[in-house]
Amino acid sequence: MSEAWRATKAVLLQVHSVVGLALALLWAVVGITGATMAFEDEIGASLNAGIMHVDASATRRLTPDELVARVQAAGDFGKASAVTMASDPSAAVHIRFARTEGGARPSSVYADPYSAHVLGSPRGEDFFATVRKLHRWLLLPGDGNGYGRKITGTAAICLIVMLITGLVLRWPHRARSVKMWLKPNLGLRGRGLHRSLHAIIGTWVLPIYLVMTLTGLTYSFEWYKDGAKWLLARSAATAAAMQPKPPRSAADAKTDAKGDVKPLTFDRVWTTFLQQEGSRYRRALLTLPAGAGTAVRVRSWAQDSSLDTVRDEFRIDAVTGRVISADLYADKTLGERVLASVLDIHRGAILGWPGKLAFMLAAALMPLFTVTGLLLYLSRRRHRRLAHPPVGRLVPGE
């Protein structure tokens, strides 16, 4: 090994050690929370099976506005912000509510689509909401608009540096030996075992960690997200996604000043959506705008859709019922489908439940690298102290 290469590896080891020690705990938190959310949908469906389904009936199912009105009359739930309707006659309706003036969000409820009887609030909802905030922005103030989002994004970039430097540092002399790459030596003890586990298991999960970080960065930095759109989406779609929201008209401002704005409702949007999709939908989520606009976002999953990101999306004016835009999954290019599936790629769902399991296990292993990396660092420092030559040496003959 040349002296230049030895010096380069020494620098890379120093970078790997310093960055790892600084961010190991943060990566462990992000990894554990990500693993916890891997099967959130399946866990939620199991915990709440009793309130997510009803007995199918031949009677007419209520419209979204009828459901919301009856549910709100039955209890003090606040203003409804979103309603999930299903084509399955035995599926309950899911209603979410807007945040209160204090910023708290009331628990959502499931309701009978025939009678609007409140079946209950889903168990585990608050837990997974907290885990998600910890995973994305570390529970720091401001949520997605605060510093937590930038911190996790910077940690993801640093993790890429760790993966690259770690791969270079562990590159074996026999690069074609599968045993050297993938088989840990469990017969070792102490530092040797720690090094084997850190390096070999790190090689196993390296591709998964790269996918996680490269996709996760789209949720941390707008410049990264815009760059991905520029690279993968059609130019017209990219330009439309990047242009700012149109300014509010003077008429809208006058209406707000007079206080004549009527609360938006779901029924006109629901009627237009059914005209567009017919019986092709399996589930539809209607979300009211958070601001002063009138465009309701409707996400629609088809009967054969098994992934959360494989969906059509409409924006429909709640006042006129006019379709403002329709983003159909079938019309997307390959690059646009990749962009739309970022979340499913990030958590491995794009590969089905085996992919989700593999990504969950990889995320759960993050604390292993925290522990073994720290032990290797401490043993390396101890070894250096022992290897220092003594201050004085005996002269031969003395």
Fold for the domain defined by 49-122: Nuclear Transport Factor 2; Chain: A, (3.10.450)
Kindly report, residue by residue over 86-108, the tens digit of the pLDDT.
999 999 999 999 988 777 788 99
Q: Name residue, tokens 């993968």.
A: 232
Mean pLDDT of the chain: 86
pLDDT exceeds cutoff 50 at 396: no
Q: How many CB atoms lie within 10 A of CB 110?
A: 24
Q: Give the residue extent of every domain in the chain.
A: 3-40+132-218+356-385, 49-122, 234-332
What local confidence, expressed as pLDDT, does residue 245 receive?
47
Does pTM top 0.75 for this prediction?
yes
Kindly report, residue by residue over 355-376, the tens digit of the pLDDT.
999 999 999 999 999 999 999 8
Kindly report, residue by residue over 6-37, the tens digit of the pLDDT.
888 889 988 999 999 999 999 999 999 999 99
Kindly state the DSSP code that residue 350 receives in the 8-state scheme. G
38 Cβ contact list (under 8 Å, min separation 6): 347, 348, 356, 357, 359, 360, 363
354 Cβ contact list (under 8 Å, min separation 6): none
- On the 0-12 / 13-18 / 19+ scale of CB atoms within 10 A, 231 is exposed
What local confidence, expressed as pLDDT, does residue 177 receive?
63
65, two tokens:
């506005």
Task: Identify whether the C-beta of residue 309 lies closer than 8 Å to the C-beta of residue 341.
Answer: yes
Please state, in angstroms and rounded to a whole number, the distance separating the CA atoms of residues 217 and 209.
Answer: 12
Task: Identify whether the C-beta of residue 342 lies closer than 8 Å to the C-beta of residue 215.
Answer: yes
